[in-house]
Amino acid sequence: MYSGQSIAITGAGGGIGRAMAEKFLAQGAKVAISDINTELVEKTAAEIGATAFTCDVASEEAITAFIQGAEAANGPVDVFVSNAGVGFPDEPGGHAAGGSNESWELSWQINVMSSVYASRALIPGWKKRGQEGVKGRFVIVASAAGLLAQVYSGSYTTTKHAAVGFAEYMAIMHKADGIKVHCVCPQYVKTNMTKGMTEIKEGPGKHLEASDVADSLFAAIEKDEFLVLPHPVIKDYFQAKAADPDNYIGGMAYRAKTIDKGHIPLQ
Ligand SMILES: NC(=O)c1ccc[n+]([C@@H]2O[C@H](COP(=O)([O-])OP(=O)(O)OC[C@H]3O[C@@H](n4cnc5c(N)ncnc54)[C@H](O)[C@@H]3O)[C@@H](O)[C@H]2O)c1
């Protein structure tokens, strides 16, 4: 299915983005990976056989240049994965809005606007494509924190909810254009982002490998599903939240009060 396709992935120097790149490459795709960390992305690209680009996704100019570079190298992009993301904890002992404006602004740019910029660069071309079937596929790596709260990170919770909102909006507005959107919402995954966090080794919320998230994306594409839930239990939590929002808030407030702070993953 992906043989010869042109794939572009942001924040793919390591972690989930790299795992997705490896899976696309294994299926015969041509993959362009980018990251803000030039040394890391060049090393990774050399290891896995992708093409490397430096791209700070907070900059619309840089995203456009990445897409142009990926297209020059591999042809028109068939699948774009907006994966780069950051998280900042609230100020210790502070309050819900206690994080600095800088951390909120960076989270907004990297976790939300990057997808707006990329879709702005891609959708007009995809709409004009003459091919039958899928004209383009846009994947947003959001988080379970986009459906439920990440306690002790107001900026992560808020911007990942916005990322899910934008993914939904794109899927709705461009379904008739033959553009597919997938929104990936994992709970904890063993990557740099969760380094230093106490690993949950068992149960439905256990830490996954980055490759498990890539597998879930591929399975969801096969089934033509929008929402990608590498931890299936998130669907139960999300349904319970919709059914009884007050009970959900009560439960999360209890979690915030009792949580082992080692389970707060963000750097
Ligand atoms: N690890 C988890 O538990 C988890 C859970 C849910 C969602 N996610 C999401 O998965 C995505 C990938 O994260 P990961 O877990 O692989 O972590 P990671 O830290 O391994 O990967 C994130 C990559 O993004 C890059 N990056 C940071 N700022 C950037 C910028 N401005 N421009 C371009 N690249 C930038 C980093 O250099 C890094 O290589 C993120 O969006 C994250 O929020 C992670």
Q: What is the pLDDT of residue 91?
A: 85
Determine if ligand 1 sits within 6 Å of the CB of residue 37. Answer: yes
Query: What is the CA(103)–ligand 1 centre distance, in A?
Result: 15
Query: What is the CA(193)–ligand 1 centre distance, in A?
Result: 6
- Counting from 1 in the atom list of ligand 1, the atom nearest the Cα of 156 is 43
Collapsing DSSP to helix, strand or coil, 234 comes out as helix
Query: 10, 35, 148: which to mutate for ligand 1, most atoms within 8 A of CB?
Result: 35
Determine if ligand 1 sits within 6 Å of the CB of residue 229. Answer: no
Verdict on whether the full-model pTM lies above 0.95: yes
Which CATH number do you get for residue 103?
A: 3.40.50.720
Q: 177 in a domain, yes or no? A: yes
Q: Give the mean pLDDT per block of 10 residues along the chain (267 residues).
A: 96 98 98 98 98 98 98 98 96 87 97 98 95 93 97 95 98 97 97 91 95 98 98 97 98 88 56
Domain of residue 193: give its range.
Answer: 6-263
Q: 20 in a domain, yes or no? A: yes
Q: 46 in a domain, yes or no? A: yes
Specify the residue for token string 């997705």.
20
Region at 28 (left for phi over 0; alpha for psi -120 to 50; beta for the rest) = left
- Angle (deg, nearest 10), helices 233-243 and 245-258: 120
- Alpha-carbon distance of 155 to 215, in angstroms, equals 28
- Counting from 1 in the atom list of ligand 1, the atom nearest the Cα of 111 is 41
Query: What is the CA(11)–ligand 1 centre distance, in A?
Result: 6
Q: 168 in a domain, yes or no? A: yes
pLDDT in tens, 61-95: 999 999 999 999 999 999 999 999 999 999 877 78
Q: 70 in a domain, yes or no? A: yes
Q: 1 in a domain, yes or no? A: no
pLDDT in tens, 155-179: 999 999 999 999 999 999 999 999 9
- Alpha-carbon distance of 201 to 263, in angstroms, equals 12
Q: How many domains does the chain have?
A: 1
Whether the CB-CB separation of 210 and 188 falls below 8 Å is answered with no
